[in-house]
Amino acid sequence: MTKEHADDLQSQVLALVRSVAENDQIEASTPLFSSGLLDSLALESIQAEIENRWCALPPTALRLAAFDTAAAISATVYNAKSEANHQSTTSSEGA
């Protein structure tokens, strides 16, 4: 994934977080859960939307620290997508 794609992903994740929080003032580095701005129901909504839009998240990615800012969420999605692409490439090479 290029830097342009990563930046676009972060913009999309930020828009998602702002929508779930109903707060347009949230920035990429705004603490979401540790500040109490969002709760566990919001986390479930964000996770479901990520899996609907981009990729499944492995259980190891489901840590609160990975969701505490839009930037952290973007990195989590980026890593999950990269891992999924790697596994897809590896499994197709073995076929």
pLDDT tens digits for range 13-44: 999 999 999 999 999 999 999 999 999 999 99
pLDDT value at residue 88: 64
Cα radius of gyration (the chain):
14
Domain 3-82 has CATH 1.10.1200.10: yes
| 14-27 core/surface letters (b: 16 or more CB in 10 A; e: else) | bebbbebbeeeebe
Q: Tell me the C-alpha distance between 32 and 55, whole Å.
A: 22
Do 30 and 73 form a contact (C-beta atoms < 8 A)?
no
Tokens of residue 45, six digits: 């909504």
CA distances from 10 to 4, 26, 58 (A): 10, 13, 19
Residue ranges of domains in the chain: 3-82
87 or 66, higher pLDDT: 66
**Is the full-model pTM beyond 0.85?**
yes
